[in-house]
Structure 1
Amino acid sequence: MTIRTQEEIVTRVWALRANRGDIFGFREEVLVEALDLDHARQVLTPRHPEAWTQRVDHETYARDYLQFAIGKIIDHRGNSASRSVDKLGELTWLLVRDDIVAEMDHVSYPMYGAPKVKAFADGFGWPFLDDLDGDDRLALARMAEGQQCHPQGCERGCAD
């Protein structure tokens, strides 16, 4: 799979910082791991270059992170689910899938970002519900449609 150029990634890191579009640094984390050492030095603080490790297989990371994100949605983990949506969005940009970025931006966020994560999975043609059993599968399918996890209501935090 193709990824963005090193220069494009550095430019995006600086843009995220300038626009304060990544307050907690979750998106930047994905991007910096895609840089080689010379380019990483352009965005890392000089005191902590040891904090950098280069990720090589971004597609495998994205597939694995999708499963992590699904778990956070099912478990009703608001902050973790939000972080997952940010990271998946940045991985999508990194993997040069502007069509999926646009679709993720187009769908709404309710139900812990399930519609956005489904757009990510569908865009890449990766399983969204396949690895889940009965109740979790039904709950995630409903959440991806912007509905509560259970038709009778949710005791864990879903809201209409």
Structure 2
Amino acid sequence: MTEYSYLIYFTDPYGVGKSQYVVANEVGLTNVPKNTLKDYDRLITFDVHTLVDDLRINKGSLPAELIDISDALRLNAAVSRSDGGEKVWGFWRNIKPHFKNQASWKILSGVYSVLDPIPESSDLPALLSEFVVALGLLWNDTKDKLELNGELARFLDVEVPVAQIFYYR
């Protein structure tokens, strides 16, 4: 079984280089500098386009492979944007049931919607830990659905590598 590492990030809404990147794996949570992301082989995250823009602005590096769980959710939903697909495959809508504490979901979704500031550093480890658990549960559910639909191999062998081309452009 493949172990996955997850990337959680907070972009700097003011563009002054205060973005934060946290990698979570079997070792735990690790704050990583923007230039060391290239040392990771595969990271699962969300909203990769925002991440890539942030890393470009801050002159950071991309890991060898990024898996955008949002792309997997879109593939599973099989509903186009024009048919209301965003409501079906939206990341924050899909991860919400995986949070034990809905207040944590509300705080984090507010931060990513740029409605709320990044929580105080004393509150952040608990929020990030809960976020990582929810992200892992969502990835496992999404991966299982892809496999059930016969789409997992195509997603990992075709969709993900093609996406990498666009991330590196």
TM range (shorter): under 0.3
TM-score normalized by the length of structure 2: 0.25
Question: More strand per residue: 1 or 2?
Answer: 2
> For the pair shown, which has the larger CA radius of gyration, 1 or 2?
1
